[in-house]
A and B are shown apart, each in its own frame.
Chain A
Amino acid sequence: MDDLFAVPRGWLESFGEIVKFCARILGDIASLRVFKYFGEVLRQAGILIVSSTLVIWGLVFIIGLQCGIEGAYFDRSVGVPAYAGVFAAWCDLRELVPLCFGYMMAAKVGTGIVAEIGSMRISDEIDALEVMGISGVTFLCATRLLGSMLVLPFVYLCSIGAGFFASYLAVVQQIGDVSSGGYFLIFWQFQNPPDVLYSLIKAMAMAIVIVLVGCYYGYTATGGPVGVGTATAKSMVFNIVSVHVIGMLGTQLFWGANPRAPIGG
């Protein structure tokens, strides 16, 4: 009987550890302790902009193309090729842009943080920091979280743009069942500013969880260079699952009871 519950108990335990650790980081930000190291916050934000934005936009661009062709072929098959904009608008803004943003955040930023902080942990640099009287959680984790909070909303809004552009290219320029004006008429009718806000909230929830999880796995890495690799791989498992679950909860919360479409009453 004990064996049966060992695995779920292990999951619960590590989940509890993660939540406790995240609460510490959030506490550092809420109590403004992190502003002691505001220079480091800006440096982390800069690193994020320079090293990760292009890759994120690239992935979102490809998924925008994908939404475009699926929408164009689907709407052709139901006999309303002029309405490909509906599919593209909903597919891009509400679902796949946040999800792909989450995937690439997990892959590029999340694992990057684990690798970086993990190697600091196993080469005893974090202990050195604490000997000098600098809190490792504040200096390494809270600064990274605040840095990403500063930068990521803008990165995400631009990646929505990349997705829209790609869908336009796929539907109008590549498949070509609908004119540019006809496409945009429908495309803009089926979305409004609150949709963008909801989509942004969904993506930011994903991004914050990913950064926190990355910090946790990096900060608690053990077992030499090999341990860093294993921790990186483990963080990816957690992040993939949480991206999907957050996406689902967000959709249920924001659009579950209200389709927000300009049809009917």
Chain B
Amino acid sequence: MATTAVDRVFAPTRGVLQEAGEMMILTGRTIVSAVKPPYPYGAEFVGQFMFALRLCWFPLLVSTVAFGYEAPGLQAANFLVLFGALDRLGGFFVLASIREFAPFVDAIVLAGVAGTAITADLGARRIREELDALEVLGVDPIKNLVVPRFLALMLVTGLFDIYALLFGVFGGVLATLVNHQPLGPFWATFFNNASTTDLWGSVVKTTLFGAIIAVVCCYKGMTAKGGAEGVGRAVNEAVVIAFLAIFAFNYVFTQVLLATHPALTDIVK
């Protein structure tokens, strides 16, 4: 078939749109299949939950402490020390850790660690034709493989948000201590400025991040093809798409939350 210039421009675009559409279809089928009885995925759900927990706790701990100490900790402390107002670091950490950085470091680590493991696992099953064998046996791979991973990743990302938040704030505590300041004012401004809206916004956001990671990574794993390089390539594509989707969603979510809840941006002394 002769490829015209038009084809050459539109073929990749069509590929991207098609993939996005297929991911949407997979999301829809996963949700329907999760709520429709029977529910055979209990054991697999627990297994995946523990798997993600075991894999992620340490990288997440190092990452959040490092990030909390680095970006909002050191830089903001530097800035505030110039004005002799380091006690306001606590208030800044509500914005920095709860609203912004704990969720996205959480999502980056989950996508990079648990998401890649899921894609590698499902991709391996696709390459070994285990998924085809399951279908022949009349076992629905979406209900038995995708749904438990989807639910487990949503739950685990949401819960890890709290964990990331605690260690992110610990980074701020470290930054305060490095500047030889007492911790009392840090906690005072932190709790004065912390609001329930921020907390639920953060947890809802990360739960949705978990859903995005699970759908992208399961889709890429289940459609892996092409022999030896296939699984590795699938992991590569999955993690790139997951990162872009997480950041784009994060921007939209934060903007909507801030614009619809003006009370969030009031600073309390």
Interface residues of A, Cβ cutoff 8 Å to B: 55, 58-59, 62-63, 65-66, 69-70, 73-74, 76-78, 86, 90-91, 94-96, 99-100, 103-104, 106-108, 111-112, 114-116, 118-119, 122-123, 224-226, 228-233, 236-237, 239-241, 244-245, 247-248, 251-252, 255-256, 259, 261, 263-264
Contact = CB atoms under 8 A, between A and B. Distances in A.
A261 B75 CA distance: 11
A86 B80 CA distance: 12
B79 A58 contact: no
Interface stretch (B29-37, B39-47, B234-242): B234-242
A69 B113 contact: no
B74 A237 contact: no
Contacts of B105: 244
Interface string B210-244: 00000000000000100111111111100110011
Contact of B117 (A59, A115, A225, A233): A233
Interface string B232-269: 11111001100110011011001100100000011100
A240 B232 contact: no
Given A107-B239, A108-B236, A118-B232, A236 B116 contact: yes
B228 A107 contact: no
Contacts of B117: 233
B164 to A, nearest CB: 12
B243 A229 contact: no
Given A66-B254, A245-B66, A261-B79, A229 B234 contact: yes
A115 B247 contact: no
A260 to B, nearest CB: 8
A104 B243 contact: yes
Nearest to A62: B247
Contacts of B109: 240
B190 interface: no
A237 B66 contact: no
B2 to A, nearest CB: 24
Contacts of A256: 74
B71 interface: yes
A145 B52 CA distance: 32
A239 B113 CA distance: 10
Contacts of A115: 229, 231-233, 235-236
B265 A226 contact: no
